Amino acid sequence: MTTTLLLLVLLAPALGAAVLLLGGRRTNAWGPLAAIGVMGAATAGALALFGAMLTRPAAERPVGVLLYEWLAVGDLRVPFGLYLDQLSMSFVLLITIVGTLIHVYSLGYMAHDPDRRLFFGYLNLFVAAMLLLVLADNYLLLYVGWEGVGLASYLLIGFYRRRASAATAAKKAFLINRVGDFGLSVAIMVMFTMIGAVTFSAVDAGIVAMPGWVPLVLGLLLLLAAAGKSAQFPLQAWLFDAMEGPTPVSALIHAATMVTAGVYLIVRSAAIYDLSETARTAVIVVGGISILFGAIVGSARDDIKKALAGSTMSQIGYMVLAAGLGPIGYVFAIFHLLTHGFFKANLFLGAGSVMHGMNDEVNMRRYGGLAWVMRLTFITFLIGYLAIIGVPPFAGFYSKDSIIEAALAHSWTAGIVAWLGAGLTAMYMTRMVMMTFLTKRRWQPDAHPHESPPVMIIPMALLALGSAVLGYLLVMNDAFEHWLEPVTGFVHEDPPLAMPIVYGITFGVVGLGVLIGVLANLHPAAEAPTRVNPLVRAARADLYGDAINEGLFMRPGQVLTAATVITDRRIVDGAVMAVADLSTGAGDQLRRVENGFVRSYSLALVAGAVIVLAALLLLRIA
Amino acid sequence: MSPDAYLSLASILFAIGAAGVLLRRNAIIAFMSIELMLNAANLAFVTAARAWGNLDGQVVAFFVMVVAAAEVVVGLAIIMTIFRSRQSTSVDETSLLRW
Amino acid sequence: MTFLFWILATLSVIGGLGMLLSRKAVHSALWLALTMMCLAVLYVAQSAVFLGTVQVIVYTGAVMMLFLFVLMLIGVSAADSLRESIRGQRPVAVLVAVALGATLIAAVGNALDFSVGLQAANAEYGGNVQGLAALMFGRYLIAFEATAALLITAALGATILAHRERLFPRQDQRTRSVERFRSGVHPGQRPSPGVYARHNAVDVPALLPDGSAVPDSIPGPLRARGTVREIDATATEEVLDRLVGGAASDTGGER
């Protein structure tokens, strides 16, 4: 039964993708509905699995299914096996539920796109790959899903393929992701070489006996992979450009699910990180930098989707930081991941709804006063807003506050960074709400904003509902901690300050952020001010992430390429061509001997005879 | 007269014949030079026959003459044929055997 | 004997060099004939009476006449231009030829410093011819028969080579005449040499009424050989004056 349901969950989207992508135009008419149908089936399967898992006692909840022996080469045995434990289950539910809602939303959002069928095919492909990623029972199979979501992400970022910027953004995302994928592939090789296995259980068991450098190296390599996939510092540059894709894609892939794969990888490799303090510290540092980096960029961008992308980077920074804290943080990382999946998808869909009504305008300086025109969108967006800045009882409050507490328990620095991030989050989200829905109208002359159709509003409403109540549901009776504890372990540590003081500081910081956000954006200009302080200028340029990449990697790379080309042309080709030229040149000269004149030939003949004769004579004399 | 003088004369004539083959472009003259070389060889044979005191050298010279006659017949016929088709007897004209 | 040898040796070398250096093939052939005659005498001087005779008959008489015959057939124009066309051929060829002569002399020039003489060998069967005959029809019989085959083959080959396949119908005088009129280039008879010329010799071109020469009136072989006589321009003027000047006074007078 479990096997059947697992296969249903995994194969239904894969089947949908295959039918839509291979079926061609014939499936144009019913393709999108079929895509939603398979998602519904997958969701139903996931819920059934969840129900079955809840009925079992905690120790018996994980199930493994060995489908077949995938690779058997020498000592390497890689099973094609699925593994469903509480961690995977959480992800499967997030992916299927949010995925289905976004599929439905896309029905309205992409209604007028001629390539709709292709879009839904790619979405199904993505969901299938993501499910494979979280259901795999070994790192190699995880890698397949990892690359699959990378491919789907590439295809969907470049979905508007007639737009050069979209094509470039897709390529950029793919290339930067390759850097991270390199870390994962090397990590898998190290695992095989040192431990001799790549299944999670075997690695978890074998890593304990390894010398100290193995967990450290593996931890850093996996962190590299996670940073690439989750757009964490220093591999964050692709996420902002990834907003070139359709907004549902940004919601599903670049906010709710794919970008959290890095967090999943770190939490899944908890056994490795538990053994290396240094690797954990690196994770915390990366997460902390990303929190502030994303928040600063999000505060300065006028493009609503890029501001949200900065927010995503920042929130995933929270998760990575929490994951780096070790057993006190894993649970909260996943907790925040789930709530973030809901409220950030909600926010993105809200932004998509606004864009849908505003002729695809993304500049917040052209918005304003939309609260009265798009009421339902405003309400759902407002719920998402309250959730992300952490107002109780909305979801973000519980998850983020848990992370702040855990960070404080770990160190003051981590705690202060988390607080700072919370304040910045409040500030830029308030700015977004002010510029978009409140304040004066600054529309373009041809803008006629209207409320989106129900097919878009209903998924937004459901996600808003999730954003509102999910946190409380999960935190009730510490339900989520108990749920995930068997997988990741959980240690409770009290922060060095009393709880009311922590809450007080958090609320103070958030309130200050909101206040600044409101006061600074009472009268936003329709054009972005050009005379701004250096921090804003840097933040508008994504803190020079692209410039650094260009200066540090692209230009030396180009020089290296040019040098290689010159070496190849001049030296390698030169040597080959010199040999060839030598032969042809020698041939050209030698062939002149064959001039066709019989007298020349006889001259050579006689000369030869003379030489032979002379030689014989000399021999006789000698 | 000692046979050595005859042999030296034969050598000189042979060299003159060789020079003719190498220098003259007229196929008929080149052919004549070959005849001169054959004659020089004949002289050497005859001289050797006298020096050794038997007639075998003379017989060989006789055979050389016969072969030379046959050669002249065929060679001149070839020259005629070439002249007929190319209107020339220059050996440089027939330089098709080249690169 | 020594005296005779030196005379003949000098003459034969001169003949060889003459053959080598003559510009015209006919001269070369005649120089070669001289060399061969000298060699015939030298054969006889070395007790090879039969070979000397054969040399005269076969070489000087038959082979050289064949050469001259072919020269006549292919035309006397077959004179070499002495300009060398292959770069560097001439000096190298001379060098190599001299080297060849030098090495040959060095090799065989003192190989036979003895002489048995042929008196005994010739006397064995009663003479040189008998002795040769005994060898040829004895020890060398098979080779002799083979030369017979060789000669027949050569004769046959020469016949085949000289044979020309008739590819077009034979042209008689009538067809040639029709052809000439059809082309219309020069339907009539060509001018004969010597017309209106000071000489009526065959190597003097005919003159047109304006006094210019007609090259076509000279037979082809003479033109090819380059023995066309130049017209004396002053003499022609004089003749013209006398002819045309007189005619100018009596208008329309018959000439």
Sign of CA dihedral A362, A312, A541, A518: positive
CA distance C70 to chain B (A): 7
Q: What is the pLDDT of residue C255?
A: 39
Residue with tokens 């004369």: B9
Q: In B, which residues are within 8 Å of C104 by CB distance? A: 11, 14-15
pLDDT at C246 > cutoff 60: no
Co-location of A584 and A568 in the same domain? yes
**Complex confidence, ipTM:** 0.92
Co-location of A386 and A431 in the same domain? yes
- Cβ of A607 and C104 within 8 Å? no
CA distance C33 to chain A (A): 24
End-of-domain residue from the set A525, A554, A572: A525
Split at pLDDT 50, 70, 90, the class of C161 is confident
Co-location of A353 and A489 in the same domain? yes
What letter represents residue A63's amino acid? V
- Please name the member of B1, B4, B55 whose beta carbon is closest to the beta carbon of C131: B55
- Cβ of A594 and B99 within 8 Å? yes
- CB contact B41 to C (< 8 Å): no
Segment holding A159, helix H or strand E: none
CA distance B74 to chain A (A): 19
Using a pLDDT cut of 90, give the percent of chain C over it.
Answer: 35
Residue A268: C-alpha distances to residues A72, A226, B52 (Å): 24, 11, 113
Residue C184: C-alpha distances to residues A418, C181, C219 (Å): 115, 5, 22
Co-location of A466 and A406 in the same domain? yes
- Cβ of C63 and B74 within 8 Å? no
What are A540-549's pLDDT values in tens digits? 777 777 788 8
Give the 3-state secondary structure of residue A103. Answer: helix
- How far apart, in whole angstroms, are the C-alpha atoms of residue A199 and residue A196? 10
- Cβ of C97 and B16 within 8 Å? yes
Split at pLDDT 50, 70, 90, the class of C93 is very high
Per DSSP, helices labelled H in A325-411 are 330-357, 375-389, 395-410
Asked if residues A67 and A81 have their Cβ atoms less than 8 Å apart, the reply is yes
What letter represents residue A18's amino acid? A
How many structural domains is chain A composed of? 3
Q: What is the pLDDT of residue C198?
A: 60
Split at pLDDT 50, 70, 90, the class of C231 is low
Residue with tokens 């998509």: A352
- Cβ of C46 and B6 within 8 Å? yes
Task: List CB contacts of A127: < 8 A, sequence separation 6 or more.
Answer: A13, A39, A42, A95, A96, A99
Task: List CB contacts of C1: < 8 A, sequence separation 6 or more.
Answer: B1, C45
- CB contact B69 to C (< 8 Å): yes
| Residues pairing with C206 in the sheet | C214
In a domain, A49, yes or no: no
pLDDT at A430 > cutoff 80: yes
Q: In A, which residues are within 8 Å of B92 by CB distance? A: 597, 599
Residue A226: C-alpha distances to residues A142, A220, A289, A323, A564 (Å): 13, 10, 14, 11, 32
Burial level of A64, CB count in 10 A (0-12/13-18/19+)? middle
- Please name the member of A592, A597, A602 whose beta carbon is closest to the beta carbon of B95: A597
Among C118, C129, C139, C156, most B C-beta atoms within 10 A, so best to mutate, is C118
CA distance A615 to chain C (A): 10
Distance from chain centroid for Cα A320: 13
Minimum mean pLDDT range among A220-224, A323-327, A546-550 = A546-550
Contacts across the B-C interface (CB distance below 8 Å): 246
DSSP state letter for A444 = -
- Cβ of C96 and A599 within 8 Å? no
- Cβ of C104 and B18 within 8 Å? no
In a domain, A185, yes or no: no
Co-location of A463 and A404 in the same domain? yes
pLDDT at C253 > cutoff 60: no
pLDDT at C225 > cutoff 90: no
The half-sphere exposure of C167 on its side-chain side, counting CA atoms within 13 A, is 1
| Residue A155 φ/ψ, nearest 5 degrees | -65, -35
What are A118-167's pLDDT values in tens digits? 899 999 999 999 999 999 988 999 999 999 999 999 999 989 888 888 88
Co-location of A515 and A613 in the same domain? no
- Please name the member of B16, B22, B46 whose beta carbon is closest to the beta carbon of C48: B46
In a domain, A368, yes or no: yes
- How far apart, in whole angstroms, are the C-alpha atoms of residue A25 and residue A19? 11
Q: Which two tokens mark A477?
A: 């009776």
Co-location of A481 and A454 in the same domain? yes
Task: List CB contacts of A302: < 8 A, sequence separation 6 or more.
Answer: A363, A364, A365, A435, A528
Q: Which two tokens mark C153?
A: 């083959």
- How far apart, in whole angstroms, are the C-alpha atoms of residue C212 and residue C210? 6
In a domain, A70, yes or no: no
In a domain, A26, yes or no: no
What are A516-547's pLDDT values in tens digits? 888 888 888 777 777 778 877 877 777 777 78
Chains with ≥3 Cβ pairs under 8 A against B?
A, C
Which CATH number fits the domain B3-86, given the four candidates 2.40.128.110, 3.40.190.10, 3.90.850.10, 1.10.287.3510? 1.10.287.3510
CA distance B97 to chain C (A): 15
Co-location of A374 and A422 in the same domain? yes
pLDDT at A235 > cutoff 80: yes
Q: How large is the average pLDDT for residues C49-61? A: 91
pLDDT at A100 > cutoff 60: yes
What are C170-200's pLDDT values in tens digits? 888 888 888 888 887 877 777 777 665 566 6
pLDDT at A35 > cutoff 50: yes
Asked if residues A385 and A344 have their Cβ atoms less than 8 Å apart, the reply is no
- CB contact C86 to A (< 8 Å): yes
Q: Which two tokens mark A17?
A: 């993708």
- Where are the domains positioned within chain B? 3-86
Split at pLDDT 50, 70, 90, the class of B99 is low
In a domain, A620, yes or no: yes
Nearest CA in chain B to A591: B99
Q: How large is the average pLDDT for residues C34-47? A: 93
Instruction: Using alpha carbons, select from A9, A84, A82, A19 the residue that is nearest to residue A39.
Output: A9
pLDDT at C46 > cutoff 60: yes
Asked if residue C205 has a cis previous peptide bond (ω within 30° of 0), the answer is no
- How far apart, in whole angstroms, are the C-alpha atoms of residue C67 and residue C52? 20
Q: How large is the average pLDDT for residues C126-135? A: 90
Q: In which domain, by residue range, is A622 found? A: 596-622
DSSP secondary structure string, A502-540?
A: HHHHHHHHHHHHHHHHHHHTSS--SS--SS--HHHHHHH
In a domain, A521, yes or no: yes
In a domain, A216, yes or no: no
Asked if residues A86 and A484 have their Cβ atoms less than 8 Å apart, the reply is yes
Q: Which two tokens mark A579?
A: 């040999």
- How far apart, in whole angstroms, are the C-alpha atoms of residue A332 and residue A481? 8
- How far apart, in whole angstroms, are the C-alpha atoms of residue A543 and residue A103? 34
Using a pLDDT cut of 90, give the percent of chain A over it.
Answer: 30
- How far apart, in whole angstroms, are the C-alpha atoms of residue C221 and residue C229? 14
Co-location of A565 and A421 in the same domain? no
Q: How large is the average pLDDT for residues A450-479? A: 86
Instruction: Using alpha carbons, select from A56, A63, A57 the residue that is nearest to residue A87.
Output: A63
CA distance C106 to chain A (A): 8
Co-location of A489 and A368 in the same domain? yes
Q: In B, which residues are within 8 Å of C1 by CB distance? A: 1
Q: What is the pLDDT of residue C197?
A: 56
- Please name the member of C36, C46, C71 whose beta carbon is closest to the beta carbon of B39: C36
Give the 3-state secondary structure of residue B26. Answer: strand
Asked if residue A234 has a cis previous peptide bond (ω within 30° of 0), the answer is yes
- Cβ of C106 and A603 within 8 Å? no
Report which of residues A76 and A209 the model is more confident about. Answer: A209
- How far apart, in whole angstroms, are the C-alpha atoms of residue A457 and residue A378? 11
- Cβ of B47 and C46 within 8 Å? yes
Nearest CA in chain A to B18: A606
What are A37-60's pLDDT values in tens digits? 999 999 999 999 999 888 888 788
Q: In C, which residues are within 8 Å of A616 by CB distance? A: 107
What are A254-277's pLDDT values in tens digits? 888 888 999 999 999 988 998 888
- How far apart, in whole angstroms, are the C-alpha atoms of residue A248 and residue A32? 14
Among A597, A603, A616, A618, most C C-beta atoms within 10 A, so best to mutate, is A603
- Please name the member of B18, B25, B96 whose beta carbon is closest to the beta carbon of A596: B96
Co-location of A434 and A476 in the same domain? yes
Minimum mean pLDDT range among A25-39, A246-260, A368-382, C201-215 = C201-215
Ranges assigned E (strand) in C184-254: 206-207, 213-214
DSSP secondary structure string, A593-613?
A: T----HHHHHHHHHHHHHHHH
Residue A466: C-alpha distances to residues A338, A345, A437 (Å): 10, 10, 22
What are A351-370's pLDDT values in tens digits? 998 888 888 888 888 888 88
DSSP secondary structure string, B29-47?
A: HHHHHHHHHHHHHHHHHHH
Co-location of A462 and A611 in the same domain? no
The crossing angle, in degrees rounded to 10, of helices A213-230 and A261-268 is 160
DSSP state letter for A452 = P
Nearest CA in chain A to C95: A607
Split at pLDDT 50, 70, 90, the class of C125 is confident
Report which of residues C249 and B5 the model is more confident about. Answer: B5
Q: How large is the average pLDDT for residues B8-16? A: 95
